[in-house]
Structures are given as structure tokens and as C-alpha cells.
DNA sequence: CAGTCGCCCTGCGTGC
DNA sequence: TGCACGCAGGGCGACT
């Protein structure tokens, strides 16, 4: 489900309700996610207070005085704050009980996500330490992308979806950014000029920023921490629009598959 | 090292 | 109505 805008929307939604909250208990109803839920999570976090809720790429970092919870939402994960006594839904796998009443619930039907505990700096965790740059940070610029792209023969779409290069760009926003930049998704990365890298960087930043403002994209089951959908779906120009006319030139939007993921693009506007 | 592919899992829409 | 199939917002790890 979630790419950077959806994770950021989730983060912003839960942060004000979690910071300063003491965790009274943690229950894992299903430990088998992409990796098992950390065995020490419940005992280590109990009695601790959440100090911050931050994000690195698509990872959420819930820092307490004793260590941090690292959460990844995978394809279908979500976090929701619920009042006391609300019945558990199917696929609610982990629940953090809060001293002021209520709880934070992690739900993930496909179980591709993660709920891990680390007593150390979460940014040093093996899954996080080698991540690429944040797309909305100054370090993500034309020089950076071009210098990497020049050495790679993969399709540019797969390059911008590679978390070791730049984090947070998933299948929806990759297609959307390439369309805005006029770049064909299958073009070899090394065949992108610096000028076109610059356009692509701008497009990625713009599409992610706009999506964050809209509260993310709800295709079917993404909801923010309070249960509300995101509104960026109405702004999608190519994703999921195979056969429909291009908003710019009217040609039919094409669908193809790259790296086992669907890609949508305009064969006339994107080169 | 870079690139490709299989796979983890459940749910939903489509077509027979 | 039921069933088989393909596809879905991600990313790791094994292989070439």
C-alpha cells in the first residue's frame, strides 16, 4: 500500500497522539510478518514513553527512552489509533496500549511489513543504514541522480524505485514522476542526460510533495492514523489508466511490466 | 558488483 | 454460486 507520502501521512497522523505517551503493554497477535515481530519488543518497551515519531524512507521510527520500534508497512500495512474497547479487526497483528487509554494498532493483511525493536540507534539498523537519500532532501539533486544513473544499465523506473539510490518512490509515484518528466520508463538509466535527470528529480519531488499535501493516495485500503483516505488518486495521470487518453496528447496510455511491477506511461509524451 | 527472478501472504475482481 | 487465475501500494535473498 504505502509509498513515502502514505507513510508520511501516517507518521504525521499518529505523532501528536503518541509523543509523551507511556506504553503500558504490547501484544502481538501474529508474529509472522516479513520477519518475526521482535521477541523482546513487549518487555523492552513496556513502561517506556514515546519521545518522537520519525520516518526514514518508508520506515517509521517510534523512539522511546529504552529503544525504538521500527515499523515498515509493506504492501498492505496500516497503523491506526483506536479508543479503548474497539473490537480487533482481522489482520490486526500488533497492538501498543497507551497509558491515557486507547491503543495503536498495526494491521497488515498480506504480512509483508515489519515490526522490529532495537535498543540502538535505529538509523544504524542493517535494514536502514544503507538506504539511499531522501527524495525531499537537498542531497537528492540532478548531480546525484545523474552520477549514479550514468553507471547503470537498468531501466530508469527500476533505478528510481531502488531504495539504495533514493527512498520512498514506489510503483505509483515512479510512473507518475516519469510521465511528468517526459521520460520513458524503460529507458536505460545511463542514457539519461543530466538535463533530463534534473527534470526527473524535480518531478519526483513535486509528485511526492503534492501527494503528501493530499494525504496520500487511497486506491482501496489506505487510511491515515485517524481512518481517513488520501485524495491524490484524483491527480494520478497514468497509474492504473491503461487505455485511457493521455491528459497531455490524447494517445492511449500503455501498460507494461518491469521487474514484475506494472508500469503505465504515454508512448508519445515519454521518450 | 550489477541485474534478474522467485517468493513471502491475503484479498479482490474477472471470466468461465 | 463456485472456482481458478491474475494482480495488488514492497523488498529481500538466491542466483547468473
pLDDT digits (tens, 9 = 90+) for A179-188: 999 999 999 9
Q: Which nucleotide's C1' sits nearest to the alpha carbon of A7?
A: C9
pLDDT digits (tens, 9 = 90+) for A137-147: 999 999 999 99
Output the average pLDDT for chain A: 96
H/E stretch holding A15: helix A4-18
- Chain centre distance of CA A113: 11
Distance CA A236, CA A247 (A): 10
Give the residue-averaged pLDDT of A58-80.
Answer: 97
Phi, then psi, of A248 in degrees rounded to 5: -100, -45
Distance CA A128, CA A34 (A): 15
State the pLDDT confidence band at A226, using cuts at 50, 70 and 90: confident
Q: Which three cell numbers stand for residue A216?
A: 496520500
Q: Which nucleotide's C1' sits nearest to the alpha carbon of A255?
A: C7
Strand B contact at CB of residue A261, distance < 7 A: no
Q: Which of A242, A215, A259, A254 lies closest to A3 in space, CA to CA?
A: A215
Phi, then psi, of A165 in degrees rounded to 5: -100, -60
Query: Residue A266 CA to nucleotide C2 C1', Å?
Result: 39
Strand B contact at CB of residue A199, distance < 7 A: no
CATH fold for the domain made of A4-120: N-terminal domain of MutM-like DNA repair proteins (3.20.190)
Distance CA A64, CA A23 (A): 9
Give the residue-averaged pLDDT of A69-73.
Answer: 98
H/E stretch holding A43: helix A41-45
Domain residue extents for chain A:
4-120, 142-265
Q: Give the pLDDT of residue A237.
A: 97
Phi, then psi, of A233 in degrees rounded to 5: -55, -35
pLDDT(A218) > 70: yes
Q: Give the pLDDT of residue A5.
A: 95
Q: Give the pLDDT of residue A219.
A: 87
Q: Which nucleotide's C1' sits nearest to the alpha carbon of A221?
A: C9
Q: Which residue has the higher pLDDT, A224 or A51?
A: A51
CATH fold for the domain made of A142-265: Helicase, Ruva Protein; domain 3 (1.10.8)
State the pLDDT confidence band at A223, using cuts at 50, 70 and 90: confident
Q: Give the pLDDT of residue A1.
A: 65
Strand B contact at CB of residue A31, distance < 7 A: no
**Beta strands A92-98; A23-28: pairing state:** antiparallel
Give the residue-averaged pLDDT of A238-260.
Answer: 96
Q: Which three cell numbers stand for residue A77?
A: 500495512
List protein-proximal bases of chain C (any atom < 7 A from a CB): 7-12
From residue A164, alpha-carbon distances to A132, A161, A178, A238 in Å are: 4, 9, 19, 25
Query: Residue A156 CA to nucleotide B2 C1', Å?
Result: 14
Query: Residue A193 CA to nucleotide B9 C1', Å?
Result: 40
pLDDT digits (tens, 9 = 90+) for A147-193: 999 999 999 999 999 999 999 999 999 999 999 999 999 999 999 99
pLDDT digits (tens, 9 = 90+) for A102-136: 999 999 999 999 999 999 999 999 999 999 999 99
Amino acid at each position: 500500500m504505502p509509498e513515502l507520502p502514505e507513510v508520511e501521512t501516517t507518521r504525521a497522523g499518529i505523532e501528536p497522539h503518541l509523543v509523551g505517551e507511556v506504553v503500558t503493554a504490547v501484544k502481538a497477535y501474529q508474529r509472522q510478518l516479513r520477519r518475526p515481530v521482535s521477541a523482546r519488543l513487549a518487555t523492552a518497551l513496556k513502561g517506556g514513553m514515546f519521545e518522537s515519531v520519525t520516518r526514514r524512507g518508508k520506515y517509521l521510527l517510534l523512539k522511546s527512552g529504552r529503544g525504538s520500534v521500527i515499523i515498515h508497512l509493506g504492501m498492505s500495512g496500516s497503523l491506526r489509533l483506536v479508543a479503548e474497547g474497539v473490537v480487533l479487526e482481522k489482520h490486526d497483528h500488533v497492538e501498543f496500549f497507551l497509558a491515557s487509554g486507547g491503543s495503536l494498532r498495526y494491521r497488515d493483511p498480506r504480512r509483508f511489513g515489519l515490526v522490529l525493536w532495537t535498543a540502538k540507534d535505529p538509523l544504524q539498523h542493517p535494514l536502514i543504514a544503507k538506504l539511499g537519500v531522501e527524495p525531499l532532501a537537498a542531497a537528492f539533486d540532478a548531480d546525484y541522480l545523474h552520477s549514479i544513473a550514468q553507471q547503470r544499465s537498468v531501466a530508469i523506473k527500476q533505478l528510481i524505485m531502488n531504495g539504495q539510490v533514493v527512498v520512498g518512490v514506489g510503483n505509483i509515484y515512479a510512473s507518475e514522476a516519469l510521465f511528468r518528466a517526459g521520460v520513458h520508463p524503460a529507458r536505460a538509466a545511463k542514457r539519461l542526460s543530466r538535463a533530463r535527470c534534473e527534470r526527473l528529480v524535480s518531478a519526483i519531488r513535486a509528485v511526492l510533495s503534492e501527494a503528501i499535501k493530499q494525504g496520500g493516495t487511497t486506491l482501496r485500503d489506505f487510511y491515515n492514523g485517524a481512518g481517513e483516505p488520501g485524495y491524490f488518486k484524483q491527480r494520478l495521470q497514468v497509474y492504473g489508466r491503461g487505455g485511457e487518453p493521455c491528459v497531455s496528447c490524447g494517445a492511449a496510455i500503455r501498460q507494461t511490466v518491469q521487474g514484475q511491477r506494472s508500469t503505465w506511461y504515454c508512448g508519445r509524451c515519454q521518450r
